[in-house]
Structure 1
Amino acid sequence: MNKSAAIINNQTNCSVVQMPDRKFPGIVLQGDSLNIIYSNLMKVLEQTEGKISKEEFLIILEQAELIEGYLNQYEKSLDESSIELPYSKSFNKTTKDYKHYWE
């Protein structure tokens, strides 16, 4: 059975959607917007490395890892559906480059 999502609000670049079988609505963030957020987080990591406490750095890194996971799933889904990305991939680093901070 194919269930449909209910669009609650579609007035911005970030729609509010009620997914079937979910108690609370979520948001649909455009892929290019998600890519911008990730890119900005990676820039913050690069610019703050060694300049802030390890605890503060790990908070930023944790958020970057979360967004990177969403972005990877988005890109995989588009690839599997033969849909072109709405942005070019231009990252020199990933959060894996900072994994030593978790040790």
Structure 2
Amino acid sequence: MERIEVELFTDASNDAVVRLPPRRFPGVLIQGDSLSVMRDDVARIVEACDQDDIAEAREEAAYLLSSLDGLLARYTAALQAHDIPIPFSQAP
């Protein structure tokens, strides 16, 4: 294990925005339990697709999309608050 200093742009929550040296742009630190939940969400989408349950797949996908939109909003807000350019084009 190596100990390093990182820059913290948000509170140290389940989805902290941090920058690791020598990265130019920050990233989002997702806790393992939160990552597991996201993986399970995708697995439910795949299972619903395998069962041709498009309505269920769409509902699960919409929930996952909403969660990811929240993470992305938190990330972009943190970068904007620190005058860091957004490293991707934003959807309209």
TM-score (normalizing by structure 2): 0.49
TM-score (normalizing by structure 1): 0.44
